Chain A
């Protein structure tokens, strides 16, 4: 393998480099994707493809430099795992491996199994389809009633935050178990429904598995920009486009051309509006170990700041009680940064008072690449915090 660096100086050169991205058989690995003129593009090229790539570039007079002469990779643990653990789809949710990261297919299979095993409690809703036409599935946990007050939880809106989707899978199973054993959230389910969207950004998730583990955004292409993706947590209609998001499509916090331009976002907006009775909305991210409430787009404190702060303190104490994991908490704008167009600012402004965002483990040691053995402890401790919020919502319905 070699790593080549190209710095496109003209639109023609940029085009030539982009063409390489579509030649799947070359198995190129873009460490730095094409973003614009004058910006470096780093491509890891497997030995068999070297000739083809160099010819492609040289034929159009695109100059390149060889950044790394010879990449001799140690077989990644992941590749070993993929080979050894025969990647069969799960057979039931009891033997499902909650201590490992899974593919979209495996998670969607898990969802179907959970529904099949618990038809009186769990149903699967398709609330829309992603840019690349993947289904957007929400699990509904309900013991009956009609349009009961509800709790919404989403994981995986930023695709590289893998511990969140993995935790979402664990939450789904936990809800079913609590109900079966008449403990934990069973009491909440007597009067409220729970909605859980596990793979909120399936296109991004697929991309992290196949092409770029660090992909955050959706995979939409709006303008004539060569860059792909919108930050789904800047695309909501709350302070949209103001300070705290980027108007540059090539950046990680690009807000998109207009609010709800992303089907992944619009589908949730439509769902929330038509349901009309959601009382708590929790959006889950990683990493940093924070519990956050609105606002992100303004310094003005949320009218319910005091209550939200108190609930956060309780939730964080519950979380910490299990393994000692320390969380900080506060409003988005004072605790992490100014962020406009974010999910819970919109849901809060819709009247969903108990709107929270979590940033799960860790604080930077592994960051997005949290070891799989931390999935279950993370899900377990987070669940304690979620229960505090859910119970508070149930006991303080409005």
Chain B
């Protein structure tokens, strides 16, 4: 079957784009990098018999900490047929360089490791949209964690966004990873529900982020 062109304003294109962005945030995001969709430039959809629906996307992304620059990427999002338990398959190719965040991330890492008391915070942003500057990296790590949840839990009938970090607690570890236990509020545009999700994120400046499956 042939891939059909979709108007970028069509909701199915927007939903697939949200999955691709979530996946990319999980893979490439960090306390010093928050990737945001600037524009969905092109979308095509292919219905593959006995497999599912595949979306081909051309996206323009920006780093919220470096808004003068954008980076293009292509993505493929495959929603599996009738499957409620299987995450969509996502492939993303970033064209060009993302801004380097090594220094800022190393600084963050050192700061958190040297805290005497484990960091705890809630309601990021607060009701008025404020995020205290020292919590911005924690906020961006929440994007990484929510990116994972969004990728894993999206279907063609959902559009998830991170509504708020309800609660975050650092857990000191004996190894070199930082661990943050999050309660994240995810908003699904389609059902309009805002529901809490618990997720544990491990992060290391060189090794990057991963969601802990415990």
Binds A, one of B42-50, B99-107, B122-130, B201-209: B122-130
Q: Which of A205-245 contact B (CB under 8 A)?
A: 208-209, 213-214, 216, 231
With a CB–CB cut-off of 8 A, which chain B residues contact A251?
A: 191, 193
Q: Are B125 and A371 in contact (CB under 8 A)?
A: yes
11 A-B contact pairs sorted by A residue (CB < 8 Å): A68-B167, A71-B167, A74-B122, A77-B128, A81-B128, A214-B194, A246-B191, A334-B10, A365-B36, A365-B64, A368-B187
Q: Are B9 and A367 in contact (CB under 8 A)?
A: no
Is A262 close to B, CB under 8 A?
no
User: Which 8 pairs across A and B sit closest by C-beta, in order of nearness?
Assistant: A371-B129, A252-B192, A364-B161, A77-B130, A328-B9, A214-B194, A369-B129, A369-B125
CA distance A172 to B71 in the complex (A): 40
Which of B127, B132, B183, B192 makes the CB contact (< 8 A) with A253? B192
Which of B123, B162, B166 makes the CB contact (< 8 A) with A76? B123
With a CB–CB cut-off of 8 A, which chain A residues contact B127?
A: 76, 78, 101, 162, 208-209, 213, 369
Q: Are A71 and B37 in contact (CB under 8 A)?
A: no
A376 to chain B, nearest CB (A): 13
A264 to chain B, nearest CB (A): 17
Is B177 close to A, CB under 8 A?
no
A169 to chain B, nearest CB (A): 15
Q: Are A367 and B187 in contact (CB under 8 A)?
A: yes
Is chain A's binding surface mostly helix, strand, loop or mixed?
A: loop
**Given A78-B126, A101-B128, A371-B125: A72 in contact with B163 (beta carbons within 8 A):** no
Q: What size tier do the contact residues of chain A reach?
A: 35 or more
Q: Are B129 and A330 in contact (CB under 8 A)?
A: no
Q: Which of A242-260 contact B (CB under 8 A)?
A: 246, 251-253
Is B190 close to A, CB under 8 A?
yes
Q: What size tier do the contact residues of chain B reach?
A: 35 or more
Residue of A nearest to B39 (CB): A326
Is B137 close to A, CB under 8 A?
no
Q: Are A366 and B196 in contact (CB under 8 A)?
A: no
With a CB–CB cut-off of 8 A, which chain B residues contact A83?
A: none
A343 to chain B, nearest CB (A): 15
Q: Are B132 and A77 in contact (CB under 8 A)?
A: yes
Is B113 close to A, CB under 8 A?
no
With a CB–CB cut-off of 8 A, which chain B residues contact A72?
A: 120
Given A70-B120, A365-B64, 20 other A-B residues pairs in contact with their CB atoms under 8 A: A31-B196, A74-B122, A78-B130, A162-B127, A209-B127, A214-B185, A214-B194, A231-B192, A253-B192, A330-B9, A330-B10, A334-B9, A334-B11, A337-B11, A366-B129, A367-B187, A368-B163, A368-B187, A370-B129, A372-B128
With a CB–CB cut-off of 8 A, which chain B residues contact A321?
A: none
Question: Chain B, 145-174, contact with A by CB distance < 8 Å: what is the 0/1 string?
Answer: 000000000000000011110110100000
Is A37 close to B, CB under 8 A?
no
CA distance A333 to B92 in the complex (A): 29
Is A32 close to B, CB under 8 A?
yes
CA distance A330 to B196 in the complex (A): 32
With a CB–CB cut-off of 8 A, which chain B residues contact A214?
A: 163-164, 185, 187, 194
Q: Which of A366-391 contact B (CB under 8 A)?
A: 366-372, 374
Q: Are B9 and A335 in contact (CB under 8 A)?
A: yes
Is A363 close to B, CB under 8 A?
yes
**Given A213-B127, A364-B161, A368-B163: A252 in contact with B36 (beta carbons within 8 A):** no
CA distance A209 to B128 in the complex (A): 10
CA distance A359 to B135 in the complex (A): 29
With a CB–CB cut-off of 8 A, which chain A residues contact B128?
A: 77-78, 81, 100-101, 369, 371-372
Q: Are A335 and B36 in contact (CB under 8 A)?
A: no
Question: Chain B, 1-34, contact with A by CB distance < 8 Å: what is the 0/1 string?
Answer: 0000001111100000010000000000000000
